[in-house]
Amino acid sequence: MSLILNHALASAFLYFRDRRKIVRRNSEDGCGSGRRADSYEVAESLLKLCGVLDWDSLTETIRELTQDCLPNVTDTVVYILNNKTGILESKDGFSHTVYELPKSGLARSVVDSKRQVLCNELSSEDPLTGLLTSGVDTSSPKRTVLLTPILHPQSDRIVCVVGAVCDELSEDDQKTLRLLEKHVAVCIQRLLRTCQQQTTSQTDSILKLCEELHDRDAATLQKKVIKYLQDQTESECCVILFVCEETGQLFFHVIGDRVLDCEVVLIPDSSVYKVISSGKSATLDDLGDSRAELSSKLGFDVRSMLCVPVVKKDTKEVAAVILVFNKKNGKSYSLDDEEKIRQCFRYTLPMLANSIAFKKEYQQKIDTQALLQVAKNLFTHLDDVSALLQEIMQEARNMTHAERCSLFLVERKELVAKVFDGNVTENGEILGEVRIPKDQGIAGHVATSGEILNIKDAYSHPLFYRGVDETTGFRTRNILCFPIKDESKKVIGIAELCNKINGSHFTKHDEEVATAFAVYCGISIVHGLLYKKVKDAQYRNKLSNELLMYHMQINIAEWERLTQADIPAPCTFLKDMDKYISIPRSIPEAETPLACVSMFEDMGFIRRWRIDQATLARFCLMVKRGYRDPPYHNWYHAFSVGHFCYLLYKNISHLDMLNEIEVFALFVACLCHDLDHRGTTNNFQVQSQSLLAALYSSEGSVLERHHFSQALCILNTEGCNIFENLTSPEYQEVLDLMQEIILATDLAHHFRIMKDLQKMAKEGYKKDNPKCHKLLLCLLMTSCDLSDQTKNWSTVKKIAELVYKEFFRQGDLEKAMGSHPLEMMDREKACIPELQINFLNQIAFPVFELLGQLFPAAGPLEDSVKANRTMWKQVKAETQRRDRKSVV
């Protein structure tokens, strides 16, 4: 009702004000300097107080009335009682600076005496001189400085002090002044009553709000507070940004009446953080944010905004920042809106803070339960390390809300990632196992330091390597990398998480979760590896028993003859022993061990590596004995492969593009590359769930790893170690080289490096490049393994018969198992000429073509393969012609 009355009085004021303008316009005299207003004009001016609805308007109106009612006013000052602080304050109308009533001088004497004061001039030391500048030196006896108090109509309290510099006051002027004081006092009483009503109404609203804040859910409480703030400030939307105590970052979970799926953290360079540092409220213009950008982020059109920091009562630190948007009816936000927000949070901040604390405690409980479930999940995969690593990677992603995860295990001086996300390039190629040095990159840093590393911006970090992103097309924004340790605090693995999904980067909470999670990972990996070792030991035990039943000791008499014999020249066994045209399978099997010793001697290995003849004899006999008797992958095949390595040595400059230890390792690997071959493929071993598959399938290249393992067994047998006189570094190097070379006989490995081989052939072999050495060793091993395809046509046909005899045996086994063999394994479907042509086109010919490009001396080998391909085409054509005749 009071608001309606106020508006009515304001309308009356506007009417009389307009009427006064007309009167003054028709008057010959203005109310200028020195002219005193008549009673009608005074009464009309006092009507302005009826239109006053707030304190700022009151100050300006009193200034105007002083100008209208007192003679020749040059300066004015108005102090009005601040109802909240109880202090008399004056506000500058231009700069909005607030001045408290001085504690000394003329103004203070007026307040203390509660009486009007008149004087000719102000002392230059009086605090009022800054506001009443013309009162310092009036230079006229008729000028006066006036200070008059205005008291509350119903109490003895001073509610206003008005000061002015004007002409001397007459008796009529004093009457006018008393009338002015009376009307100002009534107006102030009315405003105080209105403020009290508003305060009471707001207090009732806050109490009602507090009554409703009984929920445990933090989001629900925030929605109720936000609804209250939107109503009180007449805003379309509101957001409460809480300050994280640990990081100082701003986060929110609710926008208006909408609860987000997860908490959102504001990036540190957001302009809202300015409010925290300054502790002062700000508008959209103050923060300098783009309206279009802010509207895009929030999802609605932002026209206006008020940003208010809320501080804790005890520590005076900013606990939250309140954002209200779009004041309704096109209005601007005022100090009253700011005060309503602060008043609300004086009561509700403790409840909101407690709800967030409860949420954190509840989250910790959930995390603990999740960790227990994780432990259960991990410990159910101890029998399969690969599955265990996949489970760890999946759980790490889920618990920290990461986009991708890579898991590295520490192996000697390397970090090996066998399972990781994003292993597919933009071209669809699948990346295999990744190995990086233990002391390089982000993972290497964590592995060596043993400390967790949280990187908020990956591309700005000096340890980040962009090559993987460029290969895969993936963009890494942020990284959380943590170590996995065993019981002795030794780092055994590294987990690297990329790209926080629901935030700008990984948080302190993510670090805590990762640290706790790493404990369970460490326990499970250690026990998983231990379990694998136990199982591997069991498999090896069974395999050893199986081998023991098959492999007998070498013939002592044969070993003695080989030990005591003079080592003949290789040409003793074949006239063209060092020519590409030679056929090593024509050498009787009984003479092949001595032929091997002869090649060792001719290549200078016995002298260079100080190999004892008795040791070499036992080694060669043990290797020969280590081969079974399948149709093709037997000792003759190994001897032929070793002989072809000898041919390359003799015909391509003694392989001087390699180091001498690399040539040595290559020749020994050729002899050992198919030890204990079962006459079946890797795929068959896995499908039949053989002991070999159980032992090696998790690492790939089942048979090739078994062949290398068997070579190590022979070398470790007493009296067989031909590397015994090598230095420790040389010994380790030759074993590593043998492993790489033997694993290269897996054609899957050959296809993986084919692009690198072609690149090397195109750019040329670089002797000082270690990668070129590795690629060349793999290419030479593959060419030796396929060397039968370079022999004469009769030999090639015989080899094909042996190969397909072995293939068909496997096909029969697969049929017995209920499987469908490949065409080349199925004796009822295989077309040998066509299969051989495809084999030469896709595998053999590209190998010898690359070898010829690198070394012109190997050109005849390429020609031999071409010639044999032509013969197979003729056989195919003849077969087709014969088949057509049989149909007719």
**CA-to-CA distance for 674 and 665, rounded, in angstroms?**
15
Beta bridge partners of 809: none
List alpha helices for 75-214, DSSP H: 106-113, 171-212
DSSP state of 34: T
How far is Cα 6 from Cα 58, in angstroms, rounded to an integer?
14
Tell which residue, 732, 699, 697, 552, has the closest CA to residue 628. 552
Q: Are 640 and 712 in contact, with CB atoms under 8 Å apart?
A: no
Amino acid at 833: P
Q: Which helix (H) or strand (E) holds 311?
A: strand 305-311
Contacts 24+ apart (CB under 8 A), 348-353: 348/206, 348/209, 348/210, 348/213, 348/225, 349/310, 349/312, 349/319, 349/320, 351/210, 351/213, 351/221, 352/218, 352/221, 352/222, 352/225, 352/240, 352/242, 352/320, 353/319
The residues, any chain, with a CB within 8 Å of residue 611's CB and separated by 6 or more, are: 600, 605, 722, 725
Runs of H (alpha helix) within 213-250: 218-233
Q: How far is residue 338 CA from its own chain's centroid?
A: 39
Give whole-number Cα distances, 842 to 633, 755, 804, 837, in Å: 21, 14, 18, 9
Nearest CA-CA partner of 16 in 61, 56, 47, 58: 47
| Cross-strand partners of 481 | 453, 496
What would the DSSP string read from start to end of 669-709?
Answer: HHHHTTTT--SS-HHHHHHTT-HHHHHHTTTS-HHHHHHHH
Residue 420 DSSP label? E
DSSP secondary structure code for residue 842 in this structure: I
d(CA 7, CA 1): 10
Instruction: Give the ranges where 235-316 is alpha helix by DSSP (H).
Output: 273-278, 284-287, 291-298
Strand order of the sheet with strand 235-243? 258-265, 250-255, 235-243, 318-327, 305-311, 282-283
Answer yes or no: 253 catalytic.
no
Alpha-carbon distances of 761 from 314, 506, 557, 787, 852, rounded to whole Å: 75, 46, 49, 20, 9
Report the alpha-carbon distance of residue 281 to residue 272 in Å, rounded.
Answer: 10
Alpha-carbon distance of 134 to 115, in angstroms, equals 22
Tokens read off for 27: 């008057």
Q: Give me the phi and psi of 818, to 5 degrees please.
A: 90, 10
How far from the centroid of its chain's Cα atoms is residue 192's Cα? 58
d(C-alpha 254, C-alpha 262), whole Å: 9
408 residue type, one letter: F
Tally Cβ neighbours within 10 Å of residue 375: 17
**What letter represents residue 482's amino acid?**
F
- Please give the C-alpha separations between residue 164 and each of 58, 134, 140, 167, 777, in angstroms, as whole numbers: 16, 9, 15, 10, 104
Instruction: Write the DSSP assignment of 551-580 as a string of letters.
Output: PPPPPHHHHHHHHHS----GGGT-TTTTST
What's the rounded Cα separation, in Å, for the pair 808 and 684? Answer: 13
Give the closest residue to 510 by CA, choosing from 398, 414, 664: 398
Beta strands 235-243 and 318-327: pairing type? antiparallel
Spatial distance between the Cα atoms of 740 and 328, rounded to a whole number of angstroms: 75
Q: Which of 183, 253, 505, 633 is catalytic?
A: 633
User: So which residues are the catalytic ones?
Assistant: 633
